Structure 1
Amino acid sequence: MRALGVKVLSACSVAVCGVAQGNLAAQTERQAEAPVDWEGIWVAERSFGPDLKGPVVLQSSGDGWAARIQGESVPVEQTTQEDGTRRWAFSVLGQGYFIGHQSAAGEAITGHWYQPPGKVQNYPFASPVRIMPAGNDAFSGTIRPFPQTLSLNIPLMPESGDSGDDPTRYRTFLRNPERNIGVFFRVVTATVDGDEIQFKNTDGDVRFTGNSVVPGRQFSLRLRRGGDVFDFTRRSRRGAVGFYPRRSPEAPPALLQPVQTDDGWRTASPAETGLNVELLSDMVSGLATFEPTGLRKPYIHGLLIAHRGKLVVEEYFHGFDRDTPHDSRSAGKSIASALLGVALERGLVSSIDEPVYSFFGGVEAFANPDPRKEQMTLRHLVTMSPGFECDDGNSETRGNEDTMQSQSEQPDWYRYTLDLPMVAEPGAKDAYCTAGINLIGGALKAKTGMSLPRFFHESFAEPLDIDHYYMNLSPKYEGYMGGGIRLRPRDFMKLGQLYLDGGVWNGKRLVSEDWVNASAAPHSSLNTEDDYGFAWWRQEYEVNGKIIDTYFASGNGGQMTFVVPELELVVQFNAGNYSDGRTRGRWRDRLMGEFILPAAVN
């Protein structure tokens, strides 16, 4: 066959072969000049550790105890505490440390793994670890640190449907489900120029530039000068799980009853508890088939509904699921309030009218002495009225949360806050002050003699059947009560059910009914008149001519836990509309006012 090929080729006339070769060259030139098609969804994903994780074994040796993890062996320190419990501790250089407690010899060791700040979330975390007896003189457990991952989604869409459009110019935006850093870059167009892709904002300014590695198939970029490189590849809908609500564009056929697990929730179908299934199905179908065409669109990660004590709706979107702890942002402030209620119920704090500075050694130990500081109580902290120069809505105030967290002169955030000057009598001025709520954690630590992760775990997490979470910490490795703890949606929702049931979860009382009622009552006016209780927001909805009272925990991005006593409802939202209060306010009120509440109103 090769000979035949050669013979035919040699028989080709010069004229014919010349024309054919010329046509081939022209075709190749046209293909080279034709613009590459970049339309589609481009995704980059990176993991920044931590490296240390997995099984850990504590084992006795002739010289004491050692912890073995990933082939390394480090010494374990044991001490007996005043309350008779045994404290266990070990550290792995550069990776973190463990502190746990054991009530009696031979029993499980319960504690936390403390990991240092990472590249994605630049503050420490504490995650629970339970180390169980594993034979003679040995214990075994698993370290599950917070994963430092970042995913970026960039759609490249034709500027319009006109055939005369510039084929190298696209509409675009940047989304990242974990934090949505695209809100700060605000790119709206992408222009391909040779092997570069320039991303520009509405003013035409280039915010960052990508370099094509394989035209139309891969490009790389740095979001900031000197930052990490992200490699983007084009994905199908099934591969862009963080961008689209679901892999399939089809509406789900029906609402499925949530799975029954061992986490304390009883489950049922919405029909079993008397909810309007058609309304709820329409809502979930709309969320599942939503096409994300812009930055300021609803990005709901999870929607859960409990009715009459049973979990009846559990739906996840954009790649999130039941077992992934979600950032709570300021919704975590309601947990700080609940912990204060727990301390009151257990007699660890006598009253919320105890003076704040009495927990920290007195007013004289801090800067900016002021007689008004003597009058400040825990009540003022939990109602956002301490009188500090502190307002998260005003970046000029020294107590502003971003100001406190970005400064490095004072890593002790309790002292930073207590040093603030006063601008009003406690109780006389309402202003959203995260630093003040965080002081509740310091007061609880002082009263209980426990670290906040330990107090949280023993008094809140364990009674509520919660065993997987990440508590964010201050630079001094103190639990941060201003918000941000990461809990699985089913677990955070238990806070709402606890309050709906008057302070009881599955027969276990954590807070008093009086505390629940006081928490939901009006105490402050932050955005509108009487819209804030004890770190819970209050809102009314009109449904079928009827006014329905609700109160809810709320955090940036759309992290909300609604309690609706009149309808025996608890609703959990998790979402990614960070730094976009207008968008999340719109979808919150539409979903609650047009679907969820009407589904429960007879």
Structure 2
Amino acid sequence: MRAPIVVLLVPVLVAAPLPAQTAQGSAADLAGLWEAKLRFGPDIRGPLILERASGTWRAEIAGRGTAARLAGDTITFELPDGRGAFRGQLKSQRARIVGHWIQPVTVTNGSAYASPVTLTRLGTAERWRGDVDPLADEFTMYLKVEPSAEGSMRAFLVNPERNIGRFTRVASLERAGQVVRLLAAPAHGQAGSELAEGVLRDDVLSIPLRGGTYDFRRVDRDAASDFYPRGRPGVGAAYAYRAPIALDDGWPVGTPEQVGLSRAALETFVRTLIDSPLDSVSSPEIHGVLIARHGTLVLEEYFHGEHRDKPHDTRSAGKSLTATLLGAAIYAGVPLSPSSLVYQVMNGGTLARDLEPRKRVLTMEHLLTMSSGLDCDDSDPNSPGNEDAITQQTDEPDWWKLTLALKMIRDPGERAVYCSVQPNLIGGVLRKAAGRPLPELFHDLVAEPLGIRQYWMNLTPTGDAYMGGGVRFLPRDFMKLGQLMINGGTWHGRRVVSAAWAKRATSPLVQLGNQKYGYLWWVMEYPYRGRTIQAFYAGGNGGQVVMGIPALDLAVAFYGGNYNDPVMFQVQRRWVPEFVLPAVVGN
């Protein structure tokens, strides 16, 4: 789901050039790197206590208490003022309560999120305790200011969470005393329009942007900053390979030599990433790279302050999770198949008598391959089923209902068109067939078998998971989805999806744009030492990629911050073919 890019700015004006020098300082005095961060919450986090006394259930978290309700084995509660909610099930003869914390809609992403919580019974009392770890709601801004060849002060804005610098298009900066103006690039012979106006006081530059006013402080020349991949510019030469740390997350770890990869080639690759120029808002911003071969994790590197314990947005790479969850549900016995009729399932098992003929034959496979024929196209802002049109309207909270009501403009299977509400509708069909909330299904059928203990599923206004993308994972966990497909549907010998599903999901079934597409997995080919090898990958806005190359038994994951910028495609087009594939030196 693409949250709306809302940038709070002063009215846009055509600004006349200001004198470079004033009695109170010049724009040139602002040269350097400035950074700011706003934290919006949430404050409700930490230990959660559920207890039953005298037949009454009660919950307590972060100093707040409220009544809880038990219906069958399901226990729920909501905090006052919409501060959070919980839904869970009593398990293992009441030894545990397994469920999800529902945090309120975030400022930075415009979504509520569900994250897993397991509460353990304390002794013999009817009291259970667990820890709530909601997604941090915060926004970081970097403002780089430097002289241009024309004598003005060039500036650009970097925002790792959503890349709003790409939308604001800050190109330069002017100053008049304490007033600092951010300007767009000149156009049509006129000076650049004013984008935002800030105030400089006591070396703090306060600028109104998305979510509030950001207090930018200058980064000292000798200080480290996460604006740079490793804190400071030009430090790539100091990098030396280190093997990933062994954790209890299911990943065996090793060294490149143990799996037929070149240590020197991987070091060159990481040094290249560290020393990539950061001279514009479109500079490559890689947040993490992981490589596994023969099921062994051998490279794990993070940049720009990201780390293995920090969740990352997967954007549309999360669509591949939708296919995996559906495959897992089918394997577990949920009465669905690729040939299941979408409108029949959503209508409770029958087709409405007045349903148009093309909707009567729409199947799950059509949704899985983006070839439904519905009037939805994410590349067309005028399409009624465009992701933004569905997710940013406020009249109808049920996005599945809106999608089902779209007109058919071509026969199902006739042509694949990229549209995010199609995989989201898969979630609706699965919810209807299974009779359980999607976060619960994901926890039981995918997360638990893969050892994924932490995740943050973005929710729709009706409170169920949005399956069109945007789920957050820890990097090592998300790469497991690629390894699962390489393994033919198993993880450490435990089957999650059938071998047939894993193969078909990652096969080139349809032409989508200029690429091949399977069941919500992209498929492409690389030339490799005189032959062609096939790769499949989950791909998301900003440079989120989990790729599998079965012929080499190789899994690769990238995470990035180049949202809505074509430079994000460097992962598939440059980093993999020019650095990762040449690192393979043996079997």
Residue of 114, 123, 140 corresponding to 2:102:
114
Query: Letter of the aligned partner of 1:131 in structure 2?
Result: L
SS at structure 2 position matched to 1:548:
strand
Whether the aligned pair in 2 keeps the contact of 1:366 and 1:418 (CA below 8 Å) is: no
2:48 matches 1:56: yes
**Structure 2 CA distance, aligned partners of 1:394 and 1:185?**
22
Q: What residue number does 1:103 align with?
A: 91
Q: In the TM superposition, what is the alpha-carbon distance from 1:30 to its structure 2 partner?
A: 11
Query: Letter of the aligned partner of 2:39 in structure 1?
Result: S
Query: Letter of the aligned partner of 2:168 in structure 1?
Result: F
SS at structure 2 position matched to 1:48:
strand
2:302 matches 1:310: no
Once the two structures are overlaid, the 10-residue window that deviates more, 428-437 or 367-376, is 367-376
Calculate the TM-score normalised by the size of structure 1.
0.89
Q: In the TM superposition, what is the alpha-carbon distance from 1:240 to its structure 2 partner?
A: 5.6
How large is the Cα RMSD of the aligned pairs? 2.0
User: 1:252-263 residue pairs with structure 2 within 5 A?
Assistant: 252-263=238-249
SS at structure 2 position matched to 1:495:
helix
**Structure 2 CA distance, aligned partners of 1:113 and 1:298?**
35
Query: Letter of the aligned partner of 1:196 in structure 2?
Result: V
Q: In the TM superposition, what is the alpha-carbon distance from 1:73 to its structure 2 partner?
A: 2.0
Q: In the TM superposition, what is the alpha-carbon distance from 1:32 to its structure 2 partner?
A: 5.9
Q: What residue number does 2:189 align with?
A: none
2:586 matches 1:598: no
SS at structure 1 position matched to 2:377:
coil
Distance 1:148 1:30, change over 3 A: closer
2:123 matches 1:131: no
User: 1:467-546 residue pairs with structure 2 within 5 A?
Assistant: 467-528=453-514, 531-546=516-531
Calculate the TM-score normalised by the size of structure 2.
0.91
Distance 1:547 1:236, change over 3 A: farther
SS at structure 2 position matched to 1:221:
strand
Q: In the TM superposition, what is the alpha-carbon distance from 1:134 to its structure 2 partner?
A: 1.3
Q: What residue number does 1:155 align with?
A: 144
Whether the aligned pair in 1 keeps the contact of 2:142 and 2:157 (CA below 8 Å) is: yes
**Structure 2 CA distance, aligned partners of 1:104 and 1:596?**
45
**Structure 1 CA distance, aligned partners of 2:25 and 2:239?**
47
Distance 1:424 1:134, change over 3 A: same
Residue of 159, 163, 178 corresponding to 1:180:
163
Q: In the TM superposition, what is the alpha-carbon distance from 1:104 to its structure 2 partner?
A: 3.8
Query: Letter of the aligned partner of 1:208 in structure 2?
Result: A
Whether the aligned pair in 2 keeps the contact of 1:342 and 1:511 (CA below 8 Å) is: yes
**Structure 2 CA distance, aligned partners of 1:286 and 1:138?**
53
**Structure 1 CA distance, aligned partners of 2:335 and 2:540?**
27
Q: In the TM superposition, what is the alpha-carbon distance from 1:388 to its structure 2 partner?
A: 0.2
Whether the aligned pair in 2 keeps the contact of 1:366 and 1:419 (CA below 8 Å) is: no
**Structure 1 CA distance, aligned partners of 2:198 and 2:459?**
35
Deviation readout 1:502-553 (Å, 9 max, x if unpaired): 1000111001111111112112111225x10111111111133332211100
Whether the aligned pair in 1 keeps the contact of 2:27 and 2:173 (CA below 8 Å) is: no
Distance 1:30 1:120, change over 3 A: closer
Q: In the TM superposition, what is the alpha-carbon distance from 1:63 to its structure 2 partner?
A: 4.6
**Structure 2 CA distance, aligned partners of 1:180 and 1:379?**
34
**Structure 1 CA distance, aligned partners of 2:455 and 2:299?**
22
SS at structure 1 position matched to 2:41:
coil
Query: Letter of the aligned partner of 1:186 in structure 2?
Result: R
Once the two structures are overlaid, the 10-residue window that deviates more, 368-377 or 305-314, is 368-377
Could you tell me which runs of 5 or more consecutive residues in structure 1 were left unpaired when the two chains were aligned: 1-28, 81-85
Q: What residue number does 2:17 align with?
A: none
Residue of 141, 159, 180 corresponding to 2:130:
141
SS at structure 2 position matched to 1:462:
helix
SS at structure 1 position matched to 2:323:
helix
2:27 matches 1:39: no
Q: In the TM superposition, what is the alpha-carbon distance from 1:56 to its structure 2 partner?
A: 1.2
SS at structure 1 position matched to 2:244:
coil
Q: What residue number does 1:402 align with?
A: 388
**Structure 2 CA distance, aligned partners of 1:466 and 1:199?**
43
Q: What residue number does 2:213 align with?
A: 229
Residue of 79, 92, 107 corresponding to 2:71:
79
Query: Letter of the aligned partner of 1:404 in structure 2?
Result: I
Query: Letter of the aligned partner of 2:480 in structure 1?
Result: K
**Structure 1 CA distance, aligned partners of 2:368 and 2:247?**
34
Q: In the TM superposition, what is the alpha-carbon distance from 1:71 to its structure 2 partner?
A: 2.4
Q: In the TM superposition, what is the alpha-carbon distance from 1:363 to its structure 2 partner?
A: 10
Query: Letter of the aligned partner of 2:319 in structure 1?
Result: K
**Larger radius of gyration between Structure 1 and Structure 2:** 1
Q: What residue number does 2:78 align with?
A: 91
Q: In the TM superposition, what is the alpha-carbon distance from 1:346 to its structure 2 partner?
A: 1.6
Query: Letter of the aligned partner of 2:40 in structure 1?
Result: F
**Structure 1 CA distance, aligned partners of 2:99 and 2:198?**
45
Q: What residue number does 1:171 align with?
A: 154
SS at structure 2 position matched to 1:348:
coil
**Structure 1 CA distance, aligned partners of 2:26 and 2:143?**
23
**Structure 1 CA distance, aligned partners of 2:198 and 2:228?**
23
**Structure 1 CA distance, aligned partners of 2:548 and 2:421?**
26
Q: In the TM superposition, what is the alpha-carbon distance from 1:347 to its structure 2 partner?
A: 2.1
Q: How many residues align?
A: 557
Whether the aligned pair in 2 keeps the contact of 1:324 and 1:488 (CA below 8 Å) is: yes
Q: What residue number does 1:10 align with?
A: none
2:274 matches 1:288: yes
Whether the aligned pair in 2 keeps the contact of 1:112 and 1:129 (CA below 8 Å) is: yes
Q: In the TM superposition, what is the alpha-carbon distance from 1:559 to its structure 2 partner?
A: 0.4
Distance 1:343 1:32, change over 3 A: closer
2:449 matches 1:460: no
**Structure 1 CA distance, aligned partners of 2:108 and 2:336?**
40
Whether the aligned pair in 1 keeps the contact of 2:28 and 2:153 (CA below 8 Å) is: no
What percentage of aligned pairs have identical amino acids?
39
Query: Letter of the aligned partner of 2:119 in structure 1?
Result: I
Residue of 532, 555, 563 corresponding to 1:578:
563
Whether the aligned pair in 2 keeps the contact of 1:177 and 1:242 (CA below 8 Å) is: no
2:231 matches 1:244: no
SS at structure 2 position matched to 1:266:
coil
SS at structure 2 position matched to 1:157:
strand
Q: In the TM superposition, what is the alpha-carbon distance from 1:288 to its structure 2 partner?
A: 1.5
Distance 1:42 1:508, change over 3 A: same
Structure number with higher relative contact order (C-alpha < 8 Å, ≥ 6 residues apart) = 2
**Structure 2 CA distance, aligned partners of 1:205 and 1:366?**
55
Q: What residue number does 2:431 align with?
A: 445
Q: In the TM superposition, what is the alpha-carbon distance from 1:223 to its structure 2 partner?
A: 2.3
Distance 1:364 1:101, change over 3 A: closer
Whether the aligned pair in 1 keeps the contact of 2:379 and 2:386 (CA below 8 Å) is: yes
**Structure 2 CA distance, aligned partners of 1:193 and 1:117?**
39
**Structure 2 CA distance, aligned partners of 1:175 and 1:575?**
13
Once the two structures are overlaid, the 10-residue window that deviates more, 365-374 or 533-542, is 365-374
Distance 1:368 1:439, change over 3 A: farther
Whether the aligned pair in 2 keeps the contact of 1:368 and 1:420 (CA below 8 Å) is: no
Runs of 4+, deviation exceeding 4 Å: 29-36, 237-240, 362-369
Once the two structures are overlaid, the 10-residue window that deviates more, 69-78 or 141-150, is 69-78
Whether the aligned pair in 2 keeps the contact of 1:368 and 1:419 (CA below 8 Å) is: no
SS at structure 2 position matched to 1:272:
helix
**Structure 1 CA distance, aligned partners of 2:254 and 2:244?**
7
Whether the aligned pair in 2 keeps the contact of 1:112 and 1:127 (CA below 8 Å) is: yes
Deviation readout 1:383-436 (Å, 9 max, x if unpaired): 000010011111111110011111111110000000001001110121002111
Q: What residue number does 1:3 align with?
A: none
SS at structure 2 position matched to 1:146:
coil
